[in-house]
């Protein structure tokens, strides 16, 4: 009998970013703090790959802000944007090659009470429907930037959920690189950030 949950190892992230992005749909993200355990089913992501990708933060080389992207796979890259939001990424590929998968949306699973306290007046299925919302509701900020995803605080789990209907589109909110269909989502999810 196979286990119902399996923490994803570093080798999961040390692959081609487009493969990781597709494979990550239907996986579960866990955030364990002192007070609570939050978890959610991932339903929408985008890939940002290397210096040749004009939309990638590492396009113009390494800076203080994006240095985590250049590091070893399986770490959290969290950045601050638009003066009020944070976005969470999973670093992929080999050390020295800057690439990551942006988490755009998820379906809440555990810790609903905590999440509802952050965003009152929002339907449960929309609590994590957007990259900025996800970090706000999960309580993630630059303090968690660089965390190792193979440790106990933040990690991904395979719960052998195969109910994903893969769809692709252009990435959202970028000005260059729009021709690439590097956004992946579960077509059947009610928690997608946009059509």
Partner DNA sequence: TGAATGATGCGCT
Partner DNA sequence: GCGCATCATTCAT
Q: How far is the CB of 150 from DNA (least distance, A)?
A: 20
- Does 48 sit near DNA (CB under 7 A)? yes
| CA–CA gap between residue 116 and residue 20 (Å, rounded) | 30
The closest alpha carbon to 185, from 163, 170, 168, 172, belongs to: 168
Please give the sequence-ordered ranges of beta strands (E in DSSP) within 17-123, or none if there are none. Answer: 28-32, 37-49, 76-81, 85-91, 99-110
Binding string, 97-116, against DNA, x = CB under 7 A?
Answer: ---x-x--------------
The closest alpha carbon to 168, from 139, 151, 192, 134, belongs to: 192
Q: By CB under 7 A, which span of 14-22, 28-36, 75-83, 107-115 interacts with DNA?
A: 75-83
Binding string, 1-40, against DNA, x = CB under 7 A?
Answer: ----------------------------------------
- Does 74 sit near DNA (CB under 7 A)? no
184: left (phi over 0), alpha (psi -120 to 50) or beta: beta
Dihedral Cα 128, 153, 19, 105, nearest 10 deg = 0
Binding residue (CB under 7 A) for DNA from 134, 138, 182, 184? 134
- Does 172 sit near DNA (CB under 7 A)? yes
Q: By CB under 7 A, which span of 15-23, 36-44, 130-138, 183-191 interacts with DNA?
A: 130-138
């Amino acid at each position: 009998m196979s286990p119902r949950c399996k923490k994803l190892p570093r080798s999961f992230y040390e692959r081609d970013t487009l493969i990781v992005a597709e494979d990550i749909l239907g996986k579960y993200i866990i955030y364990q703090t002192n007070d609570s355990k939050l978890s959610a089913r991932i339903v929408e992501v985008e890939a940002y790959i290397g210096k040749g990708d004009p939309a990638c933060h590492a396009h113009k080389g390494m800076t203080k802000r994006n240095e985590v992207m250049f590091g070893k796979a399986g770490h959290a890259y969290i950045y601050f944007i638009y003066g009020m939001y944070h976005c969470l990424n999973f670093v992929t590929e080999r050390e020295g090659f800057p690439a990551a998968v942006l988490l755009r949306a998820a379906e809440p699973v555990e810790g609903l009470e905590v999440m509802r306290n952050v965003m009152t007046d929002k339907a449960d299925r929309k609590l994590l429907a957007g990259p900025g919302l996800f970090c706000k509701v999960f309580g993630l900020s630059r303090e968690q930037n660089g965390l190792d995803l193979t440790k106990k605080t933040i990690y991904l789990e395979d719960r052998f959920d195969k109910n994903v209907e893969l769809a692709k589109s252009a990435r959202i909110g970028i000005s260059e690189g729009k021709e690439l269909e590097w956004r992946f989502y579960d077509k059947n999810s009610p928690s997608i950030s946009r059509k």
